[in-house]
Amino acid sequence: MSKQSIIGLVLMFLVLLGFSYWQTNKMAKERQQLAEQMADEVAASTDTVASDTLSPVPDTQAQTASPEKKQENQIDKANPFSACLQGEDRYFELENEVFRVRFLNKGGRIAGITLKDYLTYKKEDLVLFDEQLSDFYLQFFANNRSIRTDRCYFECLMPQARQVSGSDSLEVRMRLYPDRQDSVRNSYIEFAYTIYGNSYKMGFNLRFSEMQDLIAANTSFIDLVWNARLEQLEKSLQMESMNTAVYYKPINDKVRYLKETRDDAKSLTTPTRWISFKQQFFSLSLIADKDFPSAEIRNYTQKTAPAGYLKDLQAVIGLPYDGAAQQEIGMALYAGPNKYRILRSFDLDLERQIPLGWSFFLMQWINRGAVIPVFDFLESKGLHYGLIILILTILLKIVLFPLTYKSYASSAKMRVLQPEVAEINKKYPKPEQAMDKQRATMALYKKAGASPMSGCIPMLLQFPIVLAMFRFLPASIELRQKSFLWADDLSAYDSVLNLPFNIPFYGDHISLFALLMALSNLLYTHMTMKQQAQSNQMPGMKFMMYFMPVMLLCFLNSYASGLNYYYCLSMLITFLQMFFIRRMIDDQKVLARIQENKKKPVKKSKFQQRLEEMARRQQEIARQQAQQKRR
């Protein structure tokens, strides 16, 4: 490997490491700034009292409201829904092939969605939309009173069946009736949920029937308030927090999201197709049949929080209301894993919540066009995920072998030309002869058929694949909680020793896969430096080359063990490739071919002629300036 190739690699890795380190440290400094600025504003707009909305509800089939609470609810007689403020908490459960949904009549809401095929890192049931940790209600004005549906008891219209599978479906209707009601009961607000047999996506429709006389006449929007206090689901709280935020899809635009590494908020004034509360491997996405005209979204981290607390996500969505006697607002709710094949099947760009390098077209093309199809094919064969990563690494190295061979061949040419380059340096030792020295060196390279950049360009072409795997493996839910060798979860860090203290820039554990990755890098670096020792081309670079594996060890110690396993395999295979390529390429034969190339006439391109003419002009100007100084 030539000096230029090594410098290129060093610069690329330093940029990657520097950017990631900057983002991680910036999160800690800016985490609370936005939360403090908007706390009062959000509390006023949503009229949310945390002690009421997020208080635990006992898991019982029926619970009667306390007499004190009943008396409190009966005070405001002007509230057209005052009678609905009294009732008993009743739970109902339906299930399909992928999850169990628990409904609560208070608020007419979903009280919890338990995924059947997944567990938390503590091996507990994985519950999304937990009633104790979330709010989900409509807010509007009626009779000059602010109405919140989460404080009202709905009438439940449940199907007789409790299970659904295949292509079948079940519909649950929750109706909120006002106090003034005739025997026909035509006035109501209805939440209709449709559960499908084999899908993480359910229908959610809002229906307003004969409510135009109750809802304020100047109402053009009804707020749908959605808050969630997220708790840790994965082994690494830090990595999960760095991949948790509110995502949204504007109409006719790409998917966007709030900043994941610090507190952030945004007012959505353009129509939005969906809004999603996205965690590292799971998401809750509210999808409009048409669009959401406007919304206020926010994610923030509380200053003081219990162990296992992750982040708070909030959305206040403006739903259009036209005051018609009958109005229906169609939506859907996705509650499930961030799995590429599943999200892609909805054709809503939901898969862009998975960080596959969407901002850099080469990364997403590599992941979508090559890595994911091969990974899915190997997975369909029932292979172990450790073996899948091994086969995937070998296939990538086979595809990249021509570039690796070309890079080494170019380095060999540069290496055998070093004695002649040294002679040119001796011939033009003075600073004012720099242009002559450069022109002579380039002429030598031209005659020999060598180029200083020829060894670096193949390495640059491989770099998008390095970045693509850096994105793909930690984001693959397929690796979640899959063990391999000593690692109990390939999507999280492996720890062979937990330290009783935290080492700055490293962590509080020792990852063996990260350690093996660093050692393989040191082995490859030693081989490269030994190869370059005779040319003495890199003064000052030796320390940097040996220090790079140490930086990678600190940076990747808390990353997914599957990623470190891949990098370790990749480096070992590269080492073996270089070992055999060195046996295939004889320096003496390379030198003989270079001498033959020198005998051939060199045709100068117009671009090269212009460069030489420019160099001559600059040299002439430098000589004139030197003569003027002597005078």
**Tens digit of pLDDT for each residue in 125-169?**
999 989 999 999 999 998 888 899 999 999 999 888 899 999 899
Tokens of 482: 């899959």
Choose among 131, 134, 48: nearest CA to 91.
131
Say whether 431 sits in a helix, a strand or coil. Answer: helix
The per-residue pLDDT for range 412-435, each reduced to its tens digit, is: 777 777 787 778 778 777 776 677
Residues 311 and 244: beta-carbon distance below 8 Å: yes
Question: What is the model's pLDDT at position 624?
Answer: 78
Q: Please give the structure tokens belonging to residue 590.
A: 């390379």
The set of residues, in sequence order, having a beta carbon less than 8 Å from that of 192 and lying 6+ positions away, is 171, 172, 173, 174, 203, 204, 205, 206, 207
Residue-wise burial string across 91-118, b where 16 or more C-beta atoms lie within 10 A, e elsewhere:
bbebbbebbbbbbbbbbbbbbbbbbeeb
pLDDT for res 327: 94
The Cα 165–Cα 170 span in angstroms is 10
Task: Quickly name the fold that domain 31-347 has.
Answer: Beta-galactosidase; Chain A, domain 5 (2.70.98)
For residue 24, how far is the Cα from the chain centroid? Answer: 14
Instruction: Please state, as a whole number, how many other Cβ atoms lie within 10 Å of the Cβ of residue 601.
Output: 5
Domain boundaries, the chain: 3-19+364-598, 31-347, 601-630
Largest CA distance in the chain: 113
Say which amino acid occupies 570: S
Question: For residues 570 and 566, what is the distance between their CA atoms, to the nearest angstrom?
Answer: 6
State the pLDDT at residue 51.
Answer: 32
| Per-residue CA distances from 126 to 115, 116, 256 (Å) | 6, 8, 27
- What is the spatial distance between Cα 452 and Cα 418, in angstroms, rounded to a whole number? 12
DSSP H or E run through 183: none
The chain-wide mean pLDDT, for the chain, equals 81
Block mean pLDDT (10 aa), the chain, length 631: 51 54 47 43 39 34 41 62 90 95 95 95 93 93 89 91 91 90 79 95 95 88 95 92 94 92 93 96 95 94 86 95 92 96 94 88 86 93 94 91 80 76 78 74 73 65 83 92 93 90 87 92 77 53 76 88 92 85 76 69 62 74 76 65
Token digits for 136? Answer: 């989900």
pTM, entire model: 0.78
d(CA 193, CA 224): 16
Q: What pLDDT is attached to residue 53?
A: 33
Nearest-5° Cα angle at 312, 307 to 316: 160
C-alpha span between 262 and 260 (Å, rounded)? 6
H or E element at residue 436? helix 434-448
Q: Is 347 helix (H, G, I), strand (E, B) or coil?
A: coil
